[in-house]
Amino acid sequence: MAKGKQDEAWGVFGELLKDRREAAGLSQSELGARVFVSGGYIGLFEQGIRKPQLDVAKRIDEVLQTGGIFERTWRKLINESPYASYFHVLPRSAGAHAYMTGTLKLMEFADAPPTAYTETEYSGTLLDDPAVVKQAQRAYDHLRVAALSPEASLDLIGSDRIGGEDYRRCARTT
């Protein structure tokens, strides 16, 4: 599915969510509180700007009593994603790593040396020192070796194992 079509499909997901939420007589904030996200986040789903995680789609199904519509739609859209092969989950068993608390973007250009951009909770940094960029590339290579394959990553993302039992137990008692 092309990216434009994929975005349209998530927009349809959002329209369906809005219709079902309004039919249930709930505001975005009320639905958000019941599925453990903010009302603003529900609004982003409805606009097709953000995509919910599978556990959120399942909780939406439970609250709106849709018989699994949102879970099935989520699975279909994720499986058809043109980016499905880009997902690499690093399992917790791999232990701590240099980029646990932020992101790393490695960039290569035809007319300039490679650079890296790191972002943490409070700041972002553009790295252009070749030695530092090389270190970032090596750190990324180590992460890729420890990560799951794209197929195993998608299986894990689509399973109930992310968040684990602790999260579901907490959600039921709240």
Q: Using CA atoms, how far apart are residues 107 and 99, in angstroms rounded to an integer? A: 16
Structural domains of the chain in order of their starting residue, each with its CATH number: 3-85+153-173 (1.10.260.40), 92-147 (no CATH)
* 76 close to 59: Cβ distance less than 8 angstroms: no
Q: Give dist(CA 16, CA 69) in Å, integer.
A: 9
Q: Please tell me the pTM assigned to this model.
A: 0.51
Query: What pLDDT, in 10s, does the model give residues 35-77?
Result: 999 999 999 999 988 888 889 999 999 999 999 999 999 888 8
pLDDT tier at 82 (50, 70, 90 boundaries)?
low
